[in-house]
Amino acid sequence: MSREQYRDDQFYIDKINRLREERKAIILAHNYQRGEVQDIADFNGDSLALSREAARVDAEVIVFCGVHFMAESAAILSPRKTVLIPVPEAGCPLADMITPQGLREMKKRYPTASVVCYVNSSAQVKAESDICCTSTNAIEVVNSLESNQIIFVPDENLGRYVATQTDKELIFWKGSCPTHYRVLPEDILKAKEKHPKAKVVVHPECRLGVIMLADEVLSTGGIVKFARQTDVKEVIVGTEMGLVYRLQKENPHKRFYLATEKLICPDMKLTTLEKVANALERMEHRVTVPEEVRDKAKRALDSMLEVEV
Ligand code: CIZ
């Protein structure tokens, strides 16, 4: 890092620390955020862990460093707190691949099926669903339902992986995370050739051909736990690069290799220290969910929280 960059970062870190106290705010950062943003956060985690933290903490203001659907989930679970997102354009292409109208049409085609909705979706899509899931609990959520036929939206890759682990009949939506979709089986084979002693851990948003080459298939929270507990000293990581920063920081005596340089989510990288400082200074950009949508979306999230993992 250049001296100028260091000086700039320090300027914004001091500003954030002063404003965080003045505003009685906490800063939550997703595992895919830039390293320097993870470093100034009060709490790092996956979207569900962060939303739970948002609901639990005694703070008036939550600055959610992540993408829009994540801040929205925090607003759904904590309606009385002020939830701010530093970059309102930070979206999720996967979440944008399904509309409430599209889901309503699918429900008409399969009227007796239950609807499981991955948290990477808008509040309106959650409101149309019976239950939400994350990549940590998707299998348990699907198995918890009485119905044998399940509409699984919007991530087809995650759905197809879940289908390999359950007897239920899953109906997929054609959605995928462009970042994870870019990873090809050849990328994993190349990484394995380069690091023959390493274990391969991939996210279930990867395509099935990639999943089949992995030693473990885990959510980001699961990968954090795995990295802590494993005796293995080298790990090839098949998920967004921001997680590798956290893994290396928490496990300095192990080595983590990003499976491919393609694993970068442009939306996750939009949040910078300057944007976090601006959010706190200007108290923007507030994320709210209309009450009638919030109420239904919260029911789907609450149903998920009741499922034991
Ligand atoms: O739910 C999340 O936070 C995402 C998008 C991935 C994960 O596995 O943590």
pLDDT confidence of residue 276: 98
Any ligand 1 atom below 6 A from CB of 179:
no
Q: How far is the CA of 132 from the centre of ligand 1 (A)?
A: 13
Of ligand 1's atoms, which has the minimum distance to the CA of residue 119?
A: 1
Any ligand 1 atom below 6 A from CB of 73:
no
183-262 and 94-176+291-305 share a CATH fold: yes
Q: How far is the CA of 11 from the centre of ligand 1 (A)?
A: 31
The domain segmentation of the chain, as residue ranges, is 3-91+268-282, 94-176+291-305, 183-262
pLDDT confidence of residue 6: 83
Any ligand 1 atom below 6 A from CB of 135:
yes
What is 183-262's CATH number, 3.30.70.1290, 3.40.50.10800, 2.60.40.10, 3.40.50.150? Answer: 3.40.50.10800
Any ligand 1 atom below 6 A from CB of 134:
yes
The best mutation among 134, 216, 241 to test binding of ligand 1, ranked by most ligand atoms within 8 Å of the C-beta, falls on: 134
Report the alpha-carbon distance of residue 288 to residue 297 in Å, rounded.
Answer: 13
Any ligand 1 atom below 6 A from CB of 120:
yes
Q: How far is the CA of 232 from the centre of ligand 1 (A)?
A: 24
The per-residue pLDDT for range 143-152, each reduced to its tens digit, is: 999 999 999 9
Report the alpha-carbon distance of residue 98 to residue 78 in Å, rounded.
Answer: 25
What is the dotted CATH code of the domain comprising 3-91+268-282? 3.40.50.10800
Any ligand 1 atom below 6 A from CB of 219:
yes
pLDDT confidence of residue 299: 97
Report the alpha-carbon distance of residue 72 to residue 51 in Å, rounded.
Answer: 9
What is 94-176+291-305's CATH number, 3.40.640.10, 3.40.50.2300, 3.40.50.800, 3.40.50.10800? Answer: 3.40.50.10800
Those residues with Cβ within 8 angstroms of residue 145's Cβ, 6 or more apart along the chain or in another chain: 114, 116, 130, 131, 168
Q: What is the mean pLDDT of residues 100-104?
A: 98
pLDDT at 5 over 90: no
The per-residue pLDDT for range 10-58, each reduced to its tens digit, is: 999 999 999 999 999 999 999 999 999 999 999 999 988 888 888 899 9
Any ligand 1 atom below 6 A from CB of 137:
no
